[in-house]
Structure 1
């Protein structure tokens, strides 16, 4: 009986705030957020370096611009670039999960699962996207690079189109950095624009727009 009363008294004397702090003080999802953040950085770095062929300086200045706290800097940090494998690793076992991304021909960069490493890269899918034969400059888009010289259709508001393009490239936002913009209307390109260091021949990842 004495033991029961002692337990009840101890519980009654415990401050409510301390219990609330104990319940909410631990971040149960920190590891998941860290894993996602490192995976995003790995695929952005991989894409910039091996899909687009850009320099590490350009990648940190533009591709990683919207990340609030990227791992490392252009001078170095807790990441590794394997040019032979065309892969990027972000993080280390001592500081949390290591996330990796690797370039695959015809697809671009793929994020590896947390339990995969660079030994698994060769088992990842690839795609043989053989380009059409002939001179691309003489083959109409989208199979080639030949574009008609027709003006923007009258049904398209040219001023609104330019305003949308300016908004995409010039607005001040920490969440996005636009590298290229391609507007297709009824099967033809009516507007294209590129950031510094990017042009029509730069390969980029289309994400969910393809």
Structure 2
């Protein structure tokens, strides 16, 4: 499912970050754990097709993603990788449903309102389908972010620090949502965090 070999990255003026090889099988759930500044977000962006490393090979579903042309890479990411960012990054002028339709469109897929309704129902957000982001609580925005990440039935679902600003109750609720959605959509799950509260929820851990 994911194969990362000899991956190394360096930011301008910074020290190179070398990552140990990583092999993730389809359907597995992994915790990417490390202190702030250890390279978690960098590695997450690399395996998500968002940032090409200076060195190394990254394969998703047997596709070496950084050898794809830019347009094909965007299409592959939209159809195969769902990302839950630290902030929702929803389009404020669009409703919840319209934001999810946009995610389908960006992936080159036709609008599927039945799929949108199904995902919102599974996240307890069916009654907010016509709401705008400004009308939602932080918890509801997080659920819409998860909905957007899984809407295209990705093979890989990744989340970047989804619990960092949450209390214990809400942190575990978000984790449960991610794990449940991963199972419902038969997606491999990778969660990057420095939050050691969530460590017990995962049997597979990649530690930086």
User: Could you say which TM-score interval applies, normalised by the shorter chain?
Assistant: under 0.3
The one of the two structures with greater contact order (alpha-carbon pairs below 8 A, sep at least 6) is 2
| Structure with larger Rg | 1
